[in-house]
A and B are shown apart, each in its own frame.
Chain A
Amino acid sequence: MAELEALKTVLPDIRTLGATLVVISPQVQRTARESEHQQPLPMEHLHDRGNMVAGRYGLVFTVPEDLQAVYRGFGLDLAKANGDDSWTLPMPARFVVDRAGVIRSRDVDPDYTRRAEPSETIAVLQALAR
Chain B
Amino acid sequence: MTLNEQLQAIREKSRERFPAASRAIMERAVDDLRRSGAVDRVVKVGEGAPDFRLPNAAGRSVDLAELRGRGPVILSFFRGRW
Binding site for B on A (CB under 8 A): 1-4, 6-7, 14, 17-27, 29, 31-36, 44-48, 53-54, 56-59, 61, 63-64, 66-67, 70, 73, 76, 81-82, 89-106, 108-115, 117-118, 121, 125, 128
Instruction: Please determine whether B56 and A45 come into contact, CB atoms closer than 8 angstroms.
Output: yes
- Given A76-B82, A110-B30, A115-B7, also A59-B68 (CB < 8 A): no
- Given A53-B54, A64-B32, also A24-B77 (CB < 8 A): yes
For the complex, would chain B's binding face be called helix, strand, loop or mixed by DSSP majority? mixed
Smallest CB separation, A43 vs chain B (Å): 9
Complex CA distance for A108 and B3, rounded to whole angstroms: 15
Instruction: Please determine whether A93 and B42 come into contact, CB atoms closer than 8 angstroms.
Output: yes
For the complex, would chain A's binding face be called helix, strand, loop or mixed by DSSP majority? mixed
- Given A58-B42, A101-B48, also A2-B3 (CB < 8 A): yes
- Given A20-B73, A76-B82, also A97-B43 (CB < 8 A): no
Beyond contacts A45-B56, A67-B29, A91-B38: 4 other A-B pairs, Cβ-Cβ < 8 A, are A61-B38, A67-B26, A82-B80, A96-B72
Instruction: Please determine whether A108 and B79 come into contact, CB atoms closer than 8 angstroms.
Output: no
Q: From A4, A24, A100, name the one whose CB has the most chain B CB atoms within 10 angstroms.
A: A24
Smallest CB separation, A76 vs chain B (Å): 6
Instruction: Please determine whether B76 and A22 come into contact, CB atoms closer than 8 angstroms.
Output: yes
Least CB separation from B2: chain A residue: A117
Least CB separation from A118: chain B residue: B3
Instruction: Please determine whether A70 and B79 come into contact, CB atoms closer than 8 angstroms.
Output: no
Instruction: Please determine whether B72 and A97 come into contact, CB atoms closer than 8 angstroms.
Output: yes
Instruction: Please determine whether A102 and B56 come into contact, CB atoms closer than 8 angstroms.
Output: no
